Amino acid sequence: MRIKRQALIVWYKHRKNIRQLKRYGHFIYASRRRRFAIIYVNRDEIDEKEASLEKLPFVQKVERSYKPFISTNFENARPDEAKLYDYK
């Protein structure tokens, strides 16, 4: 059984505090220029992790990713005509 996970986008002030963010979940990415990090957290723990991250002095704001709630089944998607002939 797979555990449901969701990403948290953490906006920070200084890059030197990235090591502390690794304690809160699975650290995926940190942007140098825009100063944000992406951390994956279990969905049942997301409220506690978000609240504890917002209390940190170097964190500006914390946002949740909406990717798990977006439907990826497209109704009117037609396949590319060039690809149809490649697999026959």
Q: Is residue 86 part of a domain?
A: no
How do residues 24-43 score in pLDDT, each as one tens digit? Answer: 999 999 998 999 999 999 99
Q: What is the CATH number of the domain that holds 52?
A: 3.30.70.260
Q: Is residue 81 part of a domain?
A: no
Q: Is residue 22 part of a domain?
A: yes
Q: Is residue 61 part of a domain?
A: yes
**pLDDT for residue 88:** 53
Domain count of the chain? 1
Q: How confident is the model at residue 78 (pLDDT cuts 50, 70, 90)?
A: confident
Q: Report the C-alpha gap between 28 and 58 in whole angstroms.
A: 19
Whole-number CA gyration radius for the chain:
18
Per the confidence metrics, is the pTM higher than 0.95?
no
Q: How confident is the model at residue 87 (pLDDT cuts 50, 70, 90)?
A: low
> Which token pair is 46?
């997301």
- Note down the domain range covering 26: 5-69
Q: Is residue 80 part of a domain?
A: no
